Amino acid sequence: MQGPRTPESHELKQVVDFLNSNLRQDNKWPITSEYPTALSQSNIHNMSIICEDEKIIAHAVLKTLVIKTPIAIFKVGAIGSVVTDPDHRHLGYSTKNIEKCIELAKEQECDVVVLWTDQFDFYRKMGFELAGYDYSYVIENETPIKNKDLRFVTGNNVDPAALQKLYSQHTVHALRTNEDFKQFLKIPNSNLYTAWDKQNQIVAYAVEGKGLDLINYVHEWAGQTPALIDLFNYIHQQKKQTLTVMTPAHSKNLHQQLGAQAAMTHQGYLGMLKLINKTQLLVKIKKAFRAEGLDLIVFEEQNGKIVFGYGMDLYTLDNEADLIQILFGPLDIHALDFMSAEAKEKLSKLLPMPLWIWGWDSI
């Protein structure tokens, strides 16, 4: 066994062949086209592989994202394409690759790492916990388009700069370049829908599907709420299928309007998260509280425990999983019985903090 290690440049083809044969056997497209910014030569330094007899037998990849939020800028490491050859499973190889990705994320000063999985217990052993929010709205019934002046277009042939302009108005978003948008527009089965006003200006966009994932899920959207609601209803009319719209917790207007028309609402998690540079993250959080005039905020690590609270009103957390759920949800400060009403009031000014990863950035 050799590794975990990052592949050499010339090994990229071997990595991609390994991933295609293990994760995309029946597919018409290479896995690289689904994750163009993660599984690329420019991100090879963030891949981790384990080899045996010169053959790759396990892989995982890290993609770092710089996420702007109203509270702080977070650096988040997304981990994906975790896979071990079926003949070499249960030997600890994926655990090793994930540990290597975490090490890479630490070196690159990520605050947290995130991954999307249904194997919760496997990742809990490594300190990941379900955290953050993801609200899904299921659109089943036909709803008429309200704004008759809007023109809707189905198709990915849209200027990436126009999408970027709408996207960057989100209060929470990962920084992207126009080139990133260009790459995302080429992802197979990723269908872009746009709404245009009378002046031919783009006013909203929404993306459904992404390779093998998120079919009939709108995982990425931007624009004004009324235009978005019309756009979602247009997509539903076009597809004639149940459509699910994924939204962050902080999109209050959209929640109200989608909630009123959706057949079903589901509150889930953003993903499985793990804190990896606790001190750095706690410094960012304290800075944000102080900027709000809440100078006596306490968030410290002491002897492996987290001490937090306000002024002399201090509490201890033994479990890191609780901390991540307090910081990013869904643990509600008001539900913490042991805390005083005053500390609850102060801490809930900024907690839980909004964190969201738009669909094209997920890996």
Ligand X SMILES: CC(C)(COP(=O)(O)OP(=O)(O)OC[C@H]1O[C@@H](n2cnc3c(N)ncnc32)[C@H](O)[C@@H]1OP(=O)(O)O)[C@@H](O)C(=O)NCCC(=O)NCCS
Shortest distance, position 13 Cβ to ligand X, whole Å: 20
Shortest distance, position 213 Cβ to ligand X, whole Å: 11
CA angle, 160 as apex, 65 and 76 as ends, to 5°? Answer: 5
Put residue 112 in one of left, alpha, beta given phi > 0 → left and psi -120 to 50 → alpha. beta
Nearer to ligand X, 82 or 282 (CB): 82
Interaction mask 81-120, ligand X, x per CB under 6 A: -xxx----xxxxxxx---------------------x-x-
Cα(312)–Cα(79) distance, rounded to whole angstroms? 39
Nearer to ligand X, 343 or 363 (CB): 363
| DSSP per-residue letters across 292-338 | TT-TTEEEEEETTEEEEEETTEEEEE--HHHHHHHHHSSS-GGG-TT
Q: Which of the stretches 80-88, 188-196, 245-253, 354-362 binds ligand X when contact is defined by CB under 6 A?
A: 80-88
Amino acid at 5: R
**In the set 121, 142, 149, 337, which binds ligand X (CB under 6 A)?**
121
Q: Is 315 in the site for ligand X (CB under 6 A)?
A: no
Q: How many residues bind ligand X (CB under 6 A)?
A: 15
Structure-token match 């090994």, residue found? 11
Cα(279)–Cα(31) distance, rounded to whole angstroms? 36
The pairing of strands 2-5 and 213-223 is unpaired
Closest by CA to 357, choosing from 112, 170, 167, 174, is: 174
Nearer to ligand X, 104 or 206 (CB): 104
Nearer to ligand X, 46 or 95 (CB): 95
Nearer to ligand X, 24 or 170 (CB): 24
Residue 105 — φ and ψ, nearest 5°? Answer: -65, -40
Shortest distance, position 211 Cβ to ligand X, whole Å: 14
Which residues 123-182 are close enough to bind ligand X by CB under 6 A? Answer: none
Nearer to ligand X, 84 or 244 (CB): 84
Residues in contact with ligand X by the rule CB under 6 A = 58, 82-84, 89-95, 117, 119, 121-122
